[in-house]
């Protein structure tokens, strides 16, 4: 999947390249500067193409009707309940009647790049061993039974040993990996271990190469048994 930030400028050509690349979905979302207007404008531009387009909701006032689905992030590696479910409960109080639940998917994040804005915002505990990641993954897979564990390094390429560790205990929960993918080698390494690979920044610096990541992911056989994870 590609992640497009409504708060960043993207050329028509770059947008066309990623929307026509054969990706499973375009995710629209970001950490700051997200508004109803810039989200709606980006959705309208993406709608010129046939690709599935979902919104990742980080700001309740920027939720735009008309997306194919809505991704709701929750942060696992934080001590701040606000980022686990506090903001969610506040939003549910206001808008709970209006939510199309059949279009909603929860993403359980581990935020692992301490330099990233999202890590500072959520006060994420970014130091993580394989043992710790296995514990997070078991929480998601077995105890909370959440559909997705999202291993997020936004801004730099992450530790694939952690993705591997998480995947070893997740038979139902899907593993998303995102962060710092710039080369074919990185794309393949992530695709071998994760169920879904998310490419973001590269779209804004090298759109053509970003488009190629779709092909590289599709060519990659995931390591280990080829579990089909349906949710």
Residue 99 binds to a copy of itself (criterion: CB under 8 A): yes
Residue 117 binds to a copy of itself (criterion: CB under 8 A): no
SS3 state of residue 55 = strand
Residue 211, phi-psi category: left (phi > 0), alpha (psi -120 to 50), beta (remainder):
alpha
Helix/strand/coil (H, E, C) string of 87-100? HHHHHHHHHHHHCC
Complex with a copy of itself: residue 108 or 179, whichever CB lies closer:
108
Question: Given the rule CB under 8 A, which of 5-13, 55-63, 73-81, 192-200 is the region that contacts a copy of itself?
Answer: 73-81
Distance of CA 126 to the CA centre of its chain: 17
Complex with a copy of itself: residue 93 or 226, whichever CB lies closer:
93
Residue 59 binds to a copy of itself (criterion: CB under 8 A): no
Residue 25 binds to a copy of itself (criterion: CB under 8 A): no
Residue 146 binds to a copy of itself (criterion: CB under 8 A): yes
Token couple for 166: 């998480």
Closest CA to 5 of 227, 205, 225, 222: 205
SS3 state of residue 45 = helix
Residue 52 binds to a copy of itself (criterion: CB under 8 A): no
The least CB distance from residue 84 to a copy of itself, in Å, is 6
Residue 78 binds to a copy of itself (criterion: CB under 8 A): yes
Total of chain residues touching a copy of itself, rule CB under 8 A: 33
The single residue among 22, 61, 92, 103 that binds a copy of itself, judged by CB under 8 A, is 92
Measured from the Cβ of residue 203, the count of other Cβ atoms closer than 10 Å reads 24
Residue 101 binds to a copy of itself (criterion: CB under 8 A): yes
Residue 60 binds to a copy of itself (criterion: CB under 8 A): no
d(CA 109, CA 150): 5
């Amino acid at each position: 999947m590609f992640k497009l930030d409504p708060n960043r400028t993207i050329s028509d050509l770059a947008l066309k390249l990623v929307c026509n690349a054969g990706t499973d979905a375009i995710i629209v979302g970001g950490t700051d500067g997200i508004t109803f207007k810039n989200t709606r404008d980006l959705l309208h531009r993406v709608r010129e193409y046939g690709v599935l387009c979902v919104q990742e909701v980080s700001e309740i006032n920027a939720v735009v009707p008309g997306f194919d689905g809505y991704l709701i992030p929750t942060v696992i590696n934080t001590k701040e309940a606000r980022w686990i479910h506090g903001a969610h409960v506040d939003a549910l109080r206001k808008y709970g009647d209006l939510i199309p639940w059949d279009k909603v998917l929860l993403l359980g994040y581990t935020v692992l790049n301490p330099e990233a804005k999202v890590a500072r915002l959520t006060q994420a505990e970014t130091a993580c061993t394989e043992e710790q990641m296995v514990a997070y993954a078991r929480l998601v897979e077995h105890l909370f039974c959440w559909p997705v564990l999202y291993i997020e390094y936004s801004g730099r390429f992450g530790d694939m040993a952690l993705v591997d560790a998480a995947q070893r205990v997740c038979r139902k929960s899907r593993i998303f990996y995102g962060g710092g993918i710039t080369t074919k080698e990185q794309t393949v390494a992530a695709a071998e271990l994760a169920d879904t690979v998310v490419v973001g920044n590269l779209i804004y610096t090298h759109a053509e190469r970003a488009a190629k990541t779709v092909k590289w992911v599709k060519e990659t056989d995931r390591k280990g048994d080829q579990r089909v994870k349906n949710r």
